[in-house]
C-alpha cells in the first residue's frame, strides 16, 4: 500500500484544462446572455409603459374644469384600450443564421375567440339588465301601471323573427329600422333604404297597431332589444344633426319641421334676431340650444333629445338585450347573429358626424357653464343611472 503522504498529486492534462476553461467560459457567457436578455425584456416593458404613459399624458389638456374631467375619462379609456388591444411576448424570434429579433407590442394583436366574445357579451348583458332592475326597484317614480302610447308607437314588431325593437333617435335607430325592414321582407335591399325611407316605410308594424291582448303575448314571448347612448353625446348629436346641419333639410319636410324649432329658440334666446334668421333657422348656436333645453319642460322635448328612459320605458318593458352605440360593432353583430338570427351578419357602418370625435365633444361642453351642466344632469341623470353610464366628474 502506498503512503498517502508520499503519493504525488496527479496533474490534469493540458487538454482537460483547456476543456474546463472553455466550459467555464461558456457557462459564464450563457449566464451573462440570459441576464442580458432578461434585463432587456424588463427594460423594454418599462420603456414601453413609459412611452404609453408619456404619449397619453402629453395630450393637450385645456385648463378648464370640464376639459380636464372629460380628457381624464378619455385618457383612462385610451389607456385601457392600449393595454387590452395588444400584448408582447417575453421572447424573440430567432433563426440559426440570423440575429434575434424582438417581437414588438404592435406586431401581435390578441383576438378573442368566438366563445370568449360570447361570454363577454353575456356578462355585459347580465350587468346592464341587472343595473336597470336595481334602479327601477330603488326609484318607484320610474315605474307605471301601463306602457304609454308613445312607447308603444316606437316598439317595432317583427313576427317572422319574433323580435321587438324600441327605437331611440340619435342611437343608431336609422340603421336598426333598415335592418328591421330587411328582417320583415327579405327582398328589400339594405343599401337601397334611404334615411327618409327608413323612417317612413309603411313596412314596419308597431306594438301600438296590435290589440291589447296581443301586445301582452308579444311582450312576454318575443325577444326585445334597444340601443342607448351616452346622454350628453346624444344631445350633442341631436344639435349637430338637426340645427347645425339644418341646410341639408331645405328640400324635405324635416327641414320645415326643425326650422320651426329653430325659430322658437332664436325668438327666445337671441337678441335682435333678424327676419331672415327666423325664416331660415339655419344658424342656431350650441349655446342657444342649451339654453332652450335647460329652460323647457321635459314633457315638451322633441324625441331627439328627450330622455331615453321616457321613450322606451325600461322599467315597464323588460328588454332581453340592451346595446350601446359606444360598442356598436360588438353589440350589433352579436345581436344579429345570436339573437335575431338574420342572414345579414354585419351591422351597417355607423357614422354620426364629428360627435364621435372626443375633441369635438370637449370643445362643445367646454362652452357650457357649470350651472347649465348641472341642469342637464338633472334632466338626464335617470338615463345615466339606468343604462350604466358614468356620471361626469365635472358635475
What residue spans define the domains of the chain?
A: 20-90+100-107, 114-386
Which grid coordinates belong to 342?
A: 338574420
Which grid coordinates belong to 165?
A: 325593437
- pLDDT at residue number 83: 35
- pLDDT at residue number 186: 72
- pLDDT at residue number 52: 32
In angstroms, rounded to a whole number, what is the distance separating the alpha carbons of residues 352 and 230? 13
- pLDDT at residue number 369: 96
Render pLDDT for 71-121 as a digit per residue (tens, 0 to 9). 445 434 433 333 333 332 222 223 333 333 333 333 333 345 556 788 889
- pLDDT at residue number 54: 32
In angstroms, rounded to a whole number, what is the distance separating the alpha carbons of residues 384 and 17? 78
From residue 236, how far is each of 23, 213, 242, 312 by CA, in Å?
A: 72, 39, 10, 20
**DSSP letter string, 246-295:** GGGGTTSHHHHHHHHHHHHHHHHH-TT--HHHHHH-----HHHHHHHHHT
- pLDDT at residue number 72: 47
Residue spans of alpha helices (H) in the chain: 14-57, 65-85, 114-138, 149-152, 173-184, 195-199, 212-221, 231-239, 253-269, 275-280, 286-294, 308-312, 328-334, 358-366, 370-386
- pLDDT at residue number 343: 64
In angstroms, rounded to a whole number, what is the distance separating the alpha carbons of residues 394 and 373? 8
Handedness of CA 352, 355, 356, 360 (dihedral sign): positive
Which grid coordinates belong to 76?
A: 383612462
In angstroms, rounded to a whole number, what is the distance separating the alpha carbons of residues 317 and 218? 11
Diameter over CA atoms, the chain:
130
Residues 6+ apart with CB under 8 A from 20: 12
Beta pairing class for 223-228 and 163-166? parallel
Which grid coordinates belong to 245?
A: 346641419
In angstroms, rounded to a whole number, what is the distance separating the alpha carbons of residues 262 and 302? 12
Cβ 79 vs Cβ 56: under 8 Å: yes
Strands across the sheet containing 205-206: 205-206, 155-158, 163-166, 223-228, 321-324
Residue 164: helix, strand or coil by DSSP?
A: strand
395 residues of the chain, pLDDT tens digit each:
444 444 444 444 444 444 444 455 445 555 555 555 454 444 444 343 433 333 333 333 343 444 454 444 543 443 333 333 333 222 222 333 333 333 333 333 334 555 678 888 999 999 999 999 999 999 999 998 899 999 999 999 999 999 999 999 999 988 888 888 878 777 677 666 667 666 666 678 999 999 999 999 999 999 999 999 999 999 999 999 899 876 666 666 666 778 889 999 999 999 988 998 888 888 899 999 999 999 999 999 999 999 999 999 999 999 999 999 999 989 998 898 887 776 655 666 655 544 556 777 878 999 999 999 999 999 999 999 999 999 887 77
In angstroms, rounded to a whole number, what is the distance separating the alpha carbons of residues 113 and 160? 31
Beta bridge partners of 206: 156
Of 298, 391, 316, whose CA–CA distance to 141 is shortest?
Answer: 316
Amino acid at each position: 500500500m502506498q503512503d498517502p503522504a508520499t503519493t504525488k498529486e496527479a496533474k490534469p492534462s493540458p487538454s482537460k484544462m483547456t476543456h474546463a476553461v472553455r466550459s467555464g467560459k461558456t457557462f459564464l457567457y450563457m449566464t451573462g446572455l440570459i441576464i442580458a436578455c432578461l434585463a432587456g425584456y424588463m427594460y423594454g416593458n418599462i420603456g414601453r409603459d413609459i412611452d404609453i404613459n408619456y404619449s397619453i399624458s402629453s395630450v393637450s389638456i385645456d385648463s378648464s374644469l370640464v376639459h380636464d374631467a372629460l380628457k381624464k375619462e378619455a385618457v383612462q379609456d385610451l389607456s385601457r384600450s392600449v393595454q387590452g388591444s395588444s400584448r408582447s411576448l417575453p421572447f424573440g424570434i430567432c433563426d440559426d443564421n440570423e440575429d434575434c429579433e424582438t417581437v414588438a407590442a404592435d406586431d401581435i394583436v390578441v383576438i378573442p375567440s368566438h366563445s370568449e366574445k360570447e361570454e363577454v357579451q353575456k356578462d355585459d348583458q347580465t350587468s346592464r339588465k341587472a343595473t336597470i332592475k336595481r334602479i327601477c326597484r330603488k326609484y318607484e317614480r320610474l315605474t307605471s301601471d301601463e306602457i304609454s302610447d308613445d312607447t308603444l308607437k316606437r316598439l317595432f314588431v317583427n313576427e317572422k323573427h319574433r323580435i321587438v325593437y324600441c327605437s331611440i333617435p340619435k342611437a343608431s335607430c336609422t340603421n336598426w329600422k333598415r335592418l328591421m325592414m330587411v328582417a320583415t321582407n327579405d327582398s328589400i335591399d339594405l343599401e337601397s333604404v334611404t334615411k327618409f325611407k327608413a323612417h317612413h316605410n309603411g313596412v314596419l308594424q308597431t306594438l301600438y297597431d296590435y290589440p291589447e291582448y296581443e301586445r301582452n303575448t308579444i311582450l312576454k314571448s318575443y325577444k326585445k332589444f334597444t340601443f342607448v347612448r351616452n346622454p350628453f353625446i346624444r344631445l350633442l348629436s341631436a344639435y349637430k344633426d338637426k340645427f347645425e346641419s339644418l341646410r341639408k333639410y331645405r328640400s324635405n319636410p324635416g327641414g320645415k319641421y326643425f326650422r320651426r324649432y329653430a325659430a322658437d329658440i332664436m325668438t327666445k334666446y337671441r337678441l335682435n334676431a333678424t327676419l331672415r334668421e327666423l325664416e331660415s333657422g339655419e344658424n342656431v348656436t350650441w349655446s342657444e340650444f342649451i339654453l332652450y333645453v335647460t329652460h323647457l319642460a321635459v314633457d315638451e322635448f322633441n324625441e331627439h333629445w328627450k330622455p331615453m328612459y321616457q321613450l322606451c320605458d325600461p322599467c315597464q318593458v323588460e328588454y332581453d338585450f340592451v346595446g350601446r352605440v359606444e360598442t356598436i360593432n360588438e353589440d350589433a353583430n352579436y345581436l344579429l347573429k345570436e339573437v335575431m338570427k338574420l342572414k345579414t351578419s354585419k351591422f351597417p357602418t355607423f357614422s354620426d358626424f364629428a360627435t364621435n370625435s372626443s375633441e369635438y365633444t370637449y370643445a362643445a361642453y367646454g362652452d357650457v357653464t357649470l350651472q347649465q351642466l348641472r341642469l342637464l344632469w338633472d334632466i338626464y341623470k335617470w338615463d345615466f343611472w339606468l343604462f350604466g353610464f358614468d356620471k361626469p366628474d365635472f358635475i
